[in-house]
Amino acid sequence: MSIFDKAKNKAEELLGRAEELYGQSHGDAAATVAGEAHVMEAEAEEESLERDADRPGGDDGLAGAR
């Protein structure tokens, strides 16, 4: 998993948490649910990238380093 993938997933997760908190504080159920979805999607993507990186022959982020 590259540093850019980690940063992108973390930003997506933080955006989701902010949207979720906004929804909760303003009584906006749609924003709350959308925020939760962003968080869950980012966490799932991060887990998927970690699984792929753990596989033999997986992309370790180092070009040509075999």
Over its length of 66 residues, how does the chain's per-residue pLDDT go in tens digits? 688 888 998 999 999 999 999 999 999 999 999 999 999 999 999 898 888 877 776 555 666 555
Tokens 């940063």, located at residue: 7
Every domain of the chain and the residues it spans:
3-54
By C-alpha distance, which of 43, 41, 37, 3 is closest to 20?
37
15 Cα distance to chain centroid: 10
pLDDT of residue 12: 92
pLDDT of residue 37: 94
Q: Yes or no: say if 20 and 31 are a contact pair by the CB < 8 Å rule.
A: yes
